[in-house]
Amino acid sequence: MQPSMFNVRVPLGDRPGEQSVFLMNTFTDAQLIVSRDVADVLDRVGQEHARFSPEERDVIGTLAENGFVVESREADRQALEQFFHSVREDRGQLRITVLTTLQCNFACDYCIQGDHGDYNKHAAKMSLETAARTAEWAEQRLDAIGPESFVLTFFGGEPLLNLPVLFYLSQRLWESCQQRGVRMQINMITNGLLLSSEIVDRLAPLGLNAIKVTLDGDRDTHNRMRPLRGGQGTFDRIVNNVRQVAGKCRISIGGNFDEDSVESYPALLDFLREQEFADKLAKVAFKPIIKPLQAAKPKGLIPLTAISAEGKPLGGACMTSAGTGVSSVCDNCNFLDEKMTFLRDETVKRGFPTVDGVHMGPCEIHKHHAHTVGPDGSLYACPGFAGEAKESTGHIDGREEAWRQQAARRFDVITAWKECDDCAFIPVCAGGCSVAAHTELLDMNKPNCHKSSFEAGLITLARQAAANAEPALIG
Ligand code: SF4
Ligand code: SF4
């Protein structure tokens, strides 16, 4: 017997008589508030020649039931392998993200898409014919996997720039799911400029679940970061659109910050709090912008940028998404980890639901039955890689091409967490965001570590647990 490698703890209270400890096991997700004595018993488990009283043995039994005490380190490791295998092979849910277009009506500062130059003239848009083939392929996946639920997410570029495809896929796949007895949900990640009640009303009977809209800071900062061509601001129009649809479906607010914009977020939160739709927001969560780390590049090598036939960089998916998925820790700078914690606390202070900073993964890149479809029908392992043509893992028409098969093999062996030794956060982190690792470390299979962010999230979680006194108190 020994303590699990996935145990984490936060001491609570520092006055005599209040020396309790928050214990969490990241593998079983058990959370307990225990006395200092119980934490000491846990520390003694596994020590040579340790002796326990009958009461302490009972405590060890309870800890073992919750996964805090395991047979051996080997048992923990085997359970972890089994866990990632079951995440990978899980057939309970089929997830498909469709990029209706790579075109965008914004010219975001940090993004190579949008109305920069004549980008949109060349950016791909899904045709109705490709949409029909995508639906056929999705139906084949539904039949092959037999899931209980199907999650269809629309993304881009800006997905609302291709409404015919968006409506077609929603309607057809809703009917396909009805025929098969599968529960369907629609999600959308949009810049919000074209969001309207009409769109929401049309999608609502087809399983519309959630819409995520991005606001990059307070009005001035957002207008600087996410303008239209010509520099016109977009903040007021987006907020007005959110006002029209809040309450009709779950609306989340996301945002991308960097060192220059982070200080404007408290003002954004104050602004949102004052809105009549504040209590209808399902989630408010912000993340750092992913930036290539020049310093991480090997010396003596000239970094390659894929260039299209027109001499333009090949666009990836909208950078609004990269690193958000389930995880949102996608920058390897401690400064930004601290700022993420700061913004999470500011968000909680104003009463908005947000991510807890601990339950972040594994994200969909680790799931075999989660796919992203580009506008031309190319398949990708996750939305963050979509549009980067050489990372395509297949095609909806089943064509067999060596380069796609090679890419698929690269994604099949993504196990960055194997380099994480005994880190207690592996079950909820899985080695971090592979897109961020690819962009910043030039190797998608390296850990992109934000342990300090998890540790800070854990402290917040412990304080909330203590305040709610929800977890069982033993000892
Ligand atoms: S690898 Fe990164 S961008 Fe892709 S799903 Fe995971 S967290 Fe999201
Ligand atoms: S990337 Fe860092 S926090 Fe995540 S599992 Fe690895 S060592 Fe732990």
| Distance from Cα 456 to the centre of ligand 2, integer Å | 14
| 275/185 Cα distance (integer angstroms) | 27
Residues 6+ apart with CB under 8 A from 468: none
Distance of CA 281 to the CA centre of its chain: 18
Residues 6+ apart with CB under 8 A from 390: 306, 403, 407
The Cβ of residue 158 has, within 10 Å, a number of other Cβ atoms equal to: 26
| 292/437 Cα distance (integer angstroms) | 9
Ligand 2 atom at minimal distance to the Cα of residue 454: 3
From atom 4 of ligand 2, which residue's Cα is the shortest distance away?
Answer: 431
**For a pocket test of ligand 2, which of 8, 365, 449, 450 has the largest count of ligand atoms closer than 8 A to its C-beta?**
449
pLDDT reading at 266 higher than 70: yes
Which of 156-160, 240-244, 403-407 is predicted least confidently? Answer: 156-160
Strands 2-3 and 69-70, sheet pairing: antiparallel
| 11/221 Cα distance (integer angstroms) | 39
**For a pocket test of ligand 2, which of 417, 428, 433, 435 has the largest count of ligand atoms closer than 8 A to its C-beta?**
417
The Cβ of residue 114 has, within 10 Å, a number of other Cβ atoms equal to: 26
pLDDT reading at 219 higher than 70: yes
From atom 3 of ligand 2, which residue's Cα is the shortest distance away?
Answer: 451
What does the pLDDT look like over 166-218, one tens digit per residue? 999 999 999 999 999 999 999 999 999 999 999 999 999 999 999 999 999 99
For residue 125, what is the DSSP state? B
| 192/199 Cα distance (integer angstroms) | 12
Give the helix/strand (H/E) hosting 330: none
Residue 280, classified by CB atoms within 10 Å of its CB into exposed (0-12), middle (13-18) or buried (19+), is middle
pLDDT band at 473 (very low <50, low <70, confident <90, very high): low
| Distance from Cα 52 to the centre of ligand 1, integer Å | 45
| Distance from Cα 326 to the centre of ligand 1, integer Å | 7
Residues 6+ apart with CB under 8 A from 37: 475
Locate 203 and state its tokens.
């999608």
Q: Are the beta carbons of 211 and 251 closer than 8 angstroms?
A: yes
The pLDDT, as a whole number, for residue 468 is 80
| Distance from Cα 361 to the centre of ligand 1, integer Å | 9
pLDDT band at 430 (very low <50, low <70, confident <90, very high): very high
Locate 24 and state its tokens.
């969490």
From atom 7 of ligand 2, which residue's Cα is the shortest distance away?
Answer: 420
Considering the chain, what percentage of its residues have pLDDT values greater than 70? 85
| Distance from Cα 436 to the centre of ligand 1, integer Å | 8
The Cβ of residue 351 has, within 10 Å, a number of other Cβ atoms equal to: 12
The pLDDT, as a whole number, for residue 321 is 54
